[in-house]
Amino acid sequence: MKYISTRGQAPSLDFEGVTLAGLAADGGLYVPEAWPQFTRDEIAAMAGLPYAELAARIMTPFVGESLTPQRLRELTAQAYGRFAHAAVTPLRQLDERHWVLELFHGPTLAFKDVALQMLGLLFEEFLARRDDHLTIVGATSGDTGSAAIDAVAGRAKVDIFMLHPHGRVSDVQRRQMTTVIAPNVTNIAIDGSFDDAQAMVKRMFNDKAMTDRFGIAAVNSINWARLMSQVVYYFAAALQLGAPAREVAFAVPTGNFGDVFAGYVAAKMGLPVKRLIVATNINDILHRALSTGDYSAGTVTPTAAPSMDIQVSSNFERLLFDACGRDGAALSAQMAQFDATKDLQLTNAQREAMAALFTSARCEPAQMAQTMRWAYEACGEVLDPHTAIGLYAARAQAGELPADVPVVTLATAHPAKFVDAVERATGVRPPLPARVGDLFEREERCEHLPGTYEAVAAYVADHATPKTGAKEA
């Protein structure tokens, strides 16, 4: 399997190369040169497989020659062995129409663990083959950070610098990052929003002085291996609900468009996905893009679903690329305009291509709280704010779908990560699971930097380990 850049200029890479690369050299994102496909019979034969085995089956065509089938199975067994539920991503029924797919049984209580436990192992595997060092620079609105840190803390040949927006993540999210005291882990709170942090990370990939000196890698969903791992749970859920004989719809609380793009990939691979419902909070750029074609970024407004407080949605570029017939030059021009003006209007062809599978809904804070209350009072389920936004969209859109299509909402985080918002809406204060340990007793360690690229780049340059053979600055 080869991977190409959405902007058409960077050299193509194999799976190992793309895992270690992050952003493509032309500023684009890597995607497989063609979507692998399973036949209906192949999908039917996956029913009932243990999660780790299913993961190996789904990942095989993406991994290509980079891992033997045996080694891939060992890695998926190891990655999913750390989950607190035997099903890894269990499905729970809310009522006759709605289901939630619980993606928060990993070590840091959010869906990010599903991909990052695997990515940590892939980094280790590929680094063992070469005399090299990785400097991971990531941006987080709360969940990627803790999952990535858990996945790489203490690993040899890897340093991680994780940027989060100061004061804009929950206390649990912050502590899950800042209480990991390991020599290869640095947390940096920046003044600004998640979008500012993400823009700095992307700029660093394009900063030749930095990339010549450090082997910079990504843990955000710009890294293809993240999305590949997330495709698996769409298959796991749909198979349990009767796929391939039955179509299934998914509602996905969305920020950086990684999770829902994985659903799109599953559909491309042959899974019968009837609809992908993109749910946003009031930071609604994706709802506007999908409903009116207006992909223009405003300022980010902090909300009680902080992990979705995003206005520049990285992975939307991957969908735009497919929706313009994979024309790298045309997409490059569109993205250059967006980078300069923060305004991009979708073409009619792009809108039509997206409308075949995607719909969207924007959820107001009161609707989010009301949905949390409904789930608790009518179904006995305590949901986190992000999941509630997904469920709000699922319930708003279910009427547009045939009555026999089940609607699965992705439950992206454990409610205890956002305990104050959950308590405000439901009166319930969910406890932290025991596996998180004494989070509020531990010492915190975190740098606080101004929200400028220069400050962050200088800090990383002073503290990161240069790659093998790199010249001193």
Ligand X SMILES: N[C@@H](CCOP(=O)(O)O)C(=O)O
To ligand PLP, the closest distance from the beta carbon of 126 in angstroms equals 24
Which of ligand X, ligand PLP, none lies near 140, with the C-beta cut-off 5 to 8 A by kind?
A: ligand X
Spatial separation of the C-alpha atoms in residues 249 and 450, rounded to whole Å? 43
Compute the 3-state secondary structure of the chain and give helix, strand, coil in percent, each to the nearest 5: 45, 15, 40
Neighbours of 70 (CB within 10 A): 9
Q: Does 386 bind ligand PLP (CB under 6 A)?
A: yes
To ligand X, the closest distance from the beta carbon of 143 in angstroms equals 3
Q: Does 255 bind ligand PLP (CB under 6 A)?
A: yes
Q: Which is nearer to ligand X, 223 or 240 (CB)?
A: 223
Q: Is 325 exposed, middle or buried (0-12, 13-18, 19+ CB in 10 A)?
A: exposed
Spatial separation of the C-alpha atoms in residues 461 and 34, rounded to whole Å? 37
- C-alpha torsion angle, residues 362, 364, 368, 369 (rounded to 10): -170
Query: Can you tell me which of 102, 150, 159, 259 binds ligand PLP, judged by CB under 6 A?
Result: 259
Q: Does 16 bind ligand PLP (CB under 6 A)?
A: no
x/- letters, 133..162, toward ligand PLP (CB under 6 A): ---------xx-------------------
The C-alpha angle 126, 129, 131, rounded to 5 degrees, equals 110
To ligand X, the closest distance from the beta carbon of 218 in angstroms equals 9
To ligand PLP, the closest distance from the beta carbon of 386 in angstroms equals 4
How many Cα atoms are found within 13 Å in the side-chain-facing hemisphere of 317?
A: 30
Q: Which is nearer to ligand PLP, 16 or 259 (CB)?
A: 259
x/- letters, 271..310, toward ligand X (CB under 6 A): ------------------------------------x---
- C-alpha torsion angle, residues 170, 90, 218, 434 (rounded to 10): 50
Which of the stretches 49-57, 252-260, 323-331, 395-403 binds ligand PLP when contact is defined by CB under 6 A? 252-260
Q: Does 413 bind ligand PLP (CB under 6 A)?
A: yes
Q: Does 258 bind ligand PLP (CB under 6 A)?
A: yes
Q: Which residues contact 344 (CB under 8 A, 6 or more apart)?
A: 295, 296, 334, 335, 337, 338
Q: Which is nearer to ligand X, 43 or 416 (CB)?
A: 416
Which of ligand PLP, ligand X, none lies near 253, with the C-beta cut-off 5 to 8 A by kind?
A: ligand PLP
Query: Can you tell me which of 308, 335, 353, 407 binds ligand PLP, judged by CB under 6 A?
Result: 308
Which of ligand X, ligand PLP, none lies near 220, with the C-beta cut-off 5 to 8 A by kind?
A: ligand X
Which of the stretches 163-171, 257-265, 296-304, 459-467 binds ligand PLP when contact is defined by CB under 6 A? 257-265
Nearest to 28, CA basis, from 40, 13, 41: 13
Render the burial of 436-469: b for 16+ CB within 10 Å, e for the rest. beeeeeeeeeebebebeeebbbebbbeebebbee
Whether 112 sits among the annotated catalytic residues: the reply is yes
Pick the catalytic residue from 112, 157, 202, 417: 112
Nearest to 248, CA basis, from 371, 398, 49, 379: 398
Q: Are 248 and 237 in contact (CB under 8 A)?
A: yes
Q: Which is nearer to ligand X, 255 or 406 (CB)?
A: 255
Structure tokens at 185: 């882990």
Q: Which is nearer to ligand PLP, 213 or 275 (CB)?
A: 275
x/- letters, 176..215, toward ligand X (CB under 6 A): ----------------------------------------
Spatial separation of the C-alpha atoms in residues 67 and 59, rounded to whole Å? 10
Q: Which is nearer to ligand PLP, 213 or 414 (CB)?
A: 414
Q: List binders of ligand PLP among 198-227 (CB under 6 A).
A: 221
Structure tokens at 250: 């998914």
x/- letters, 311..330, toward ligand X (CB under 6 A): ---x----------------
Q: Does 220 bind ligand X (CB under 6 A)?
A: yes
To ligand PLP, the closest distance from the beta carbon of 187 in angstroms equals 17
x/- letters, 143..182, toward ligand X (CB under 6 A): xxx-------------------------------------
Spatial separation of the C-alpha atoms in residues 176 and 169, rounded to whole Å? 11
Which of ligand X, ligand PLP, none lies near 257, with the C-beta cut-off 5 to 8 A by kind?
A: ligand PLP
How many Cα atoms are found within 13 Å in the side-chain-facing hemisphere of 337?
A: 11
Q: List binders of ligand X among 102-141 (CB under 6 A).
A: 140-141
Spatial separation of the C-alpha atoms in residues 134 and 126, rounded to whole Å? 11
Q: Which is nearer to ligand X, 142 or 192 (CB)?
A: 142
The helix (run of H) or strand (run of E) holding residue 126 is helix 112-128
Q: Are 97 and 406 in contact (CB under 8 A)?
A: yes
Q: Which residues bind ligand PLP (CB under 6 A)?
A: 110, 142-143, 221, 253-260, 307-308, 386, 412-413
Q: Catalytic amino acids? A: 112
